[in-house]
Structure 1
Amino acid sequence: MPACLRPILLSSVIVLALALPVAAPAQHAHGAHQHGVAELTVVLEGRMLQLELISPLDNLVGFEHAPANETQRGALADAERLLLDSEAVFALPSEAGCVIREVGIESPWRDSGREHGRGQTRDHNRPARGDHEDMVASYGFECAHPEALRRLELRVFKHFPRLQRVRAEFATPRGQGGGVLTSGAAALAL
């Protein structure tokens, strides 16, 4: 590919990758929902690293209906609290100097607005699907040395044993790609 076309291609990939999370709820509403499987989107543009993890609630709490009792409400709150802790979810190379700037959670039964400026309530324009609900966790990092971001490790498997694999896609200045992460192979080469 001619060098003059590379910036155009990279811009197109980044725009596409940024548009995927917007299209994801519609995709999930049409049957892409699969228990045991989650999706991860990774976009690095300049110093900004954006990560989005989408998972069926069953993977995280063992049910997808509205919490019916205190135990289920507690399980949902615990999952949300854990996902709001970016270090419990991801390990990034320390030499990249990434600092978390924003964390958001979209959950169908989240009843508390922003938590310390980081949580996000349910999109009330999206109707509940009843028996197939997802949780979406979004993370924004600013990295002092983005060139050192060669991989990331996903730490969610030890917290959510019902989660078996994560389909990952990424777009960085070095290229785009993807893979399937599991508890035994939880690192994504970028």
Structure 2
Amino acid sequence: MQVLKWALLFILYGICQQGIAESRNNPQAHSHGLAQMTVIYDADMLLIEMALPAVDMLGFEHAPQNAAQWQQLDLLALSLQTPSEIVNLQPACNLQSVDVNLPFHDAGRATEDLNSEGYSKHAHDESTAHADHSEGLDLERDATVLPLHPDIHLSYQWQCKALTLPAISLQGLFYRYKSIGKVQAQWVANGKQGATLLSKNQALLEF
């Protein structure tokens, strides 16, 4: 029975994700200050995925260019490992898994380790970087293969005791990342679906 529940969960998840994928692949659909959230719930399993503009979470949307920006990226990655920093469930559920995917997180890390002065020295010697491709990654060039407006992708999964879907509050997200003004939320719960727009003034998604 549990296997059937999981199968249903991911079928519904795939349906919702199709719409989000189309939005992500359309550069015109990207907007600073606007995040996306998908909520899937069946019986006692809750899955929340979010796409958050990197510029709103980090203050920049390019590969880190100095040690301070690398540290900022690492701190954000650590913070997002705790869902309650941005998402709160009412009533609470038992966290099962966390998946945090940040752009640039591994890009150029090897180069940074070899160069104690970080990316800034590499950037200032741009002509050398373009002339010699054998000295590691060229972060500026590599950044061009990333999306023009990269997003941070989160996936959180809980097991809930109650048979009804808990209310979901994003007050923590709006409080900590003030440049995010709205979240487009869509949900599938126990065979029903819907969508709504959350904001700083209406941060609670109730079912």
Interval containing the TM-score (normalised by the shorter chain): 0.7 to 0.9
Aligned to 1:142: 159
Matches within 5 A, 1:123-134: 127-129=145-147, 131-134=148-151
Aligned to 1:120: none
Which of 97, 104, 108 is matched with 2:103 structurally? Answer: 108
Matched, 1:18 2:14: yes
Of structures 1 and 2, the larger Rg is shown by 2
Q: Is the 8 A contact 2:39 2:185 kept in 1?
A: yes
Which of 88, 93, 98 is matched with 1:98 structurally? Answer: 93
Q: Is the 8 A contact 2:33 2:56 kept in 1?
A: yes
Stretches of structure 2 lacking an aligned partner (at least 5 in a row): 1-7, 108-144
Aligned to 1:116: none
- Following superposition, the deviation at residue 111 of structure 1 comes to 2.6
Give the whole-Å Cα distance in 2 for the aligned partners of 1:25 and 1:78.
27
Aligned residues: 161
TM-score in terms of structure 1 length: 0.76
- Stretch moving more, 167-176 or 50-59: 167-176
- Following superposition, the deviation at residue 87 of structure 1 comes to 1.2
Structure in which a larger fraction of residues adopt helix: 2
Taking a change above 3 Å as real, the CA distance of residues 106 and 60 of structure 1, as seen in their structure-2 partners, is: same
Taking a change above 3 Å as real, the CA distance of residues 66 and 145 of structure 1, as seen in their structure-2 partners, is: same
Taking a change above 3 Å as real, the CA distance of residues 21 and 74 of structure 1, as seen in their structure-2 partners, is: farther
Structure in which a larger fraction of residues adopt strand: 1
Q: Is the 8 A contact 1:166 1:181 kept in 2?
A: yes
Q: Is the 8 A contact 1:170 1:177 kept in 2?
A: yes
Aligned to 2:43: 46
Q: Is the 8 A contact 2:16 2:186 kept in 1?
A: no
Aligned to 1:6: none
- Stretch moving more, 168-177 or 30-39: 168-177
Give the whole-Å Cα distance in 2 for the aligned partners of 1:78 and 1:111.
14
Identity %: 26
Stretches of structure 1 lacking an aligned partner (at least 5 in a row): 1-10, 113-126
Taking a change above 3 Å as real, the CA distance of residues 101 and 45 of structure 1, as seen in their structure-2 partners, is: same
CA-to-partner distance for each residue in 1:13-54, whole Å, 9 max, x for gaps?
A: 973443433664453132221100000100001211000010
Taking a change above 3 Å as real, the CA distance of residues 180 and 134 of structure 1, as seen in their structure-2 partners, is: same
